[in-house]
Amino acid sequence: MLDNYNEIAMLKDFQESEDMAINIKLEEDKKDFVFGDVVAGLGNDEFYNAHTNLFYYSPKTTLNVIGNLNNIRERVFTYDQYYNFQEGINSIFDKGNTNFEDSYDDFSDFLEKEDVIESDRKFGALNFTQQVNTKLNITGYGIFSKTKESTLVESTNTYNTFTEENAISTATNNQLAMGSIKAVYLPNYTDQWFVNSQFKKANDNYYNRINSEIDTASNAFLNNRYGKQTFFNQTIEWHRKQSKEHSFSAAIDYTYNKLTPKSIWETNDAILAGLIPVVEESSLRIQQFKEIEKNQIKAIFKHYWVLNRNNHIYSTVGNINLNQSFFTNESQKLNDGSVNNFSEAGFNNDLNFRLNDAFAGIFYKFRTGIFTFDQGAFVHHYRWNPNQESTKIQNKFVVLPNLIAKAEFNRSKTLRLNYELKSSFADASQFANRFYLQSYNSIFRGNTTLENTLKHNFNLRFTKSKGYRGFGIYATVNYSKQIEGIVNQVNYEGINQVISPLFVNNASETWGLIGRVSKKVSEINFQTGIRYNHATYLQLVNDLPFENQNINTSYNFSAKTLFDNLPILEVGWRQSFGHFKLSNTTTNFATIEPFVNLDYDFLDGFIVSADFTSYTYKNKSLNQKNNYEIANASLFYQKESSAWSFKVEAQNLFDVQFKSQNTFTSYIISDSRTFILPRILLFSVGYNL
């Protein structure tokens, strides 16, 4: 096993990594073989699940194929998996970079949801590696996902000045395709090249029915959205170990992203009264078209200078050029077929946001005793222009310091401090100075005077583990303060909102604590943890400043048996508290979750698994309380000498209708009930190759 693993071996000493690689040596009769499994299951109410995993391995070629069809909301492609598939430039080039935010929808919106009332998912994936020769390796993958789902969420939404009872039913029909091909070329012992291409393509269709009730006024809206998104990324990297003292890295990275959503709102009630210039008709039809396009090219060069074993100097120069276009068009389609365009009322955006970031940095890393220090700074020169009326080219220099300090008391006990001053730029939509629709009760207008935000980030982390004693402790403290940031300015026109970003000082402050302790006593593993997060941020409501607050506290503890010939039983308790302050409104939530998990391998080939969680959810401010239990169970059988397997499983055993939860955004506190699939009983048969 290789600790601190780095795909670029020559940079192992320059870049810390928490990755671990396992080098597996195959026996002679296992160097060219196929294995896998096929499983199909049917259940009550026409529920089904089918999947296959096929793997081919040889010394120079590997091929993996995965497929899945189900309507039981089995999550085939999760957000974590999607994130792990993201390619692009090596993380060694990330240090000191400016963050360019994307406020528009990302491909993660196309991923499967956990809580649905209807689901139909189709998924297929192919992965391969090929050693062309001793100098060239090629890897690649292709993924396709098609998802049809329906959701139902009922919410009590507390805004700054009113409370809304809201029900949203959604039907989606999404398709996602993504793929990548990567070549690794080692022409000699001193050079290494990486060439990687990645693409993503998605089509989405959303159908939302919204019922909103405020005081005695009820409104119903139908919102349909159709969109396409295209993404392409090309990266070329070069790494050279010139000598023991000098090494170099260089990269060129190009990204293209285009999104074209079209939204239609239909209603028989008033919509955004006084904010959009509608022609009064018995039925209103409001339409919006957006086009967001991004081109970004990044070039970076790094030099690693090893003075001696304990002293290194790293230097970086680079440039990022960003070009974003943002186009919106809002109008009303009248009953006679004509169009009432909202342009004269301040709607419809058409801007081309350009930004160039030239930067250079130098860092000095040294080690003395148990301590390692890596400190330095980047200097960035920003040059940007929203390219709108009354705007001009802006220039700005920013210095971003960075520090990493590490104390390694021994191999199992470390203390690490990270600090950086982080700079971010909002995307083009935040600079757009004309109105555009956000939802059935809000419109947005950007601000051309925005600049880059600056945030102090501190992280202190302590870890200690003793494997032979079964003891481990992990604790981290985080603190961030946005000294120059963007806040939402919200102005209300009745129940409707006009939202605009504003650049202010001391926009937000957040600090948190995460701790976890585990200890094995005899054959029982005990674990406990705590999480605390306290956030305050500024908001302007009807031109009045408010300091909003979001405090979340949670803790858990559990005990898990590890006896060889007895069931593996885990019993635990989770509890969380939420305190939200929005303008003059304060809301308190609490959840209690005792849980039990069971796994038992018995007789000859039987495995029983079960999990049970009891939820008690309280909204103390509204004096509301909700209790429900979620349980799942399965019985699996496969004789050791047989390729066939059988499984009986039950999901949502108590047939719970919905889950309760709370969420908090910059101007809404939401207490929601999310409806879920009913009880599912499924019988599956599998065959192993």
pLDDT in tens, 86-138: 667 777 888 888 998 876 655 555 555 678 999 999 999 999 999 999 999 99
Euclidean distance between CA atoms 663 and 657, whole angstroms? 20
Please tell me the predicted confidence (pLDDT) of residue 516: 96
Cα angle for residues 597, 599, 605 (degrees, 5° grid):
160
pLDDT tier at 64, thresholds 50, 70, 90: very high
Nearest-angstrom CA–CA distance, 462 and 387? 48
Regarding predicted confidence, which is higher, 11 or 357? 357
C-alpha span between 580 and 552 (Å, rounded): 9
Distance of CA 320 to the CA centre of its chain: 24
Please give the radius of gyration of the chain, using alpha carbons only, rounded to the nearest integer: 28
Q: Tokens 């009769």, residue?
A: 29
DSSP SS3 for 270: coil
pLDDT band at 389 (very low <50, low <70, confident <90, very high): low
Q: How far is CA 322 from CA 259, 510, 576, in A?
A: 16, 30, 42
Distance CA 167, CA 154 (A): 4
Q: Are 491 and 543 in contact (CB under 8 A)?
A: yes
**How many CB atoms sit inside 10 A of residue 392's CB?**
8
Q: Which pair of structure tokens corresponds to residue 494?
A: 């009745």
Domain ranges of the chain: 522-689
CB atoms within 10 A of CB 292: 22
Q: Which segments of 32-117 are extended strands (E)?
A: 33-43, 48-57, 61-70, 99-100
pLDDT at 482 over 70: yes
**Residue 221 or 14, more confident:** 221
For 275, how many CA atoms within 13 A lie in the half-sphere containing its CB?
27
CB 10 within 8 A of CB 2: no
Integer Cα distance of 160 and 499 in angstroms: 13
DSSP class of 2: B
Exposure of 161 by Cβ count < 10 A (0-12 exposed, 13-18 middle, 19+ buried)?
middle
Q: What pTM does this model have? A: 0.91
What's the burial of 441, exposed, middle or buried (CB within 10 Å: 0-12/13-18/19+)? buried
Q: What is the pLDDT of residues 258-269, one digit of tens each?
A: 999 999 999 999
Instruction: Calculate the average pLDDT of the chain.
Output: 91
Give the model's pLDDT for residue 95.
87
Band the pLDDT of 539: cuts 50, 70, 90. confident
Q: Where does the pLDDT of residue 667 fall: very low under 50, low under 70, confident under 90, or very high at 90 and above?
A: confident
What average pLDDT does this structure show over 394-402? 96
* Confidence band for 329, pLDDT divided at 50, 70 and 90: very high
Note the Cα 564 to chain centre separation in Å. 38
DSSP 667: S
375: tokens are: 């400190």
Length of the chain: 689
Alpha-carbon span 615 to 192, nearest angstrom = 54
Cβ-based neighbours of 88, under 8 Å, separated by 6 or more: 196, 198, 233, 235, 253, 255
Least confident window among 88-92, 225-229, 431-435: 88-92
Q: What is the pLDDT of residue 254?
A: 96
Alpha helices in 305-461 (DSSP H): 428-431
Q: Provide the Cα torsion 345, 346, 348, 352; round to 10°.
A: 160
CA 634/CA 113 separation, integer angstroms: 22
Element (H, E) at 114: none
pLDDT of residue 111: 58
Residue 581 amino acid letter: K
Question: Given pLDDT bands bounded at 50, 70 and 90, which one contains residue 388?
Answer: low
Comparing C-alpha atoms, which of 675, 208, 160 is closest to residue 440?
208
Tokens 């009045």 sit at which residue? 544
Residue range 17-39: average pLDDT?
81
CB 312 within 8 A of CB 244: no
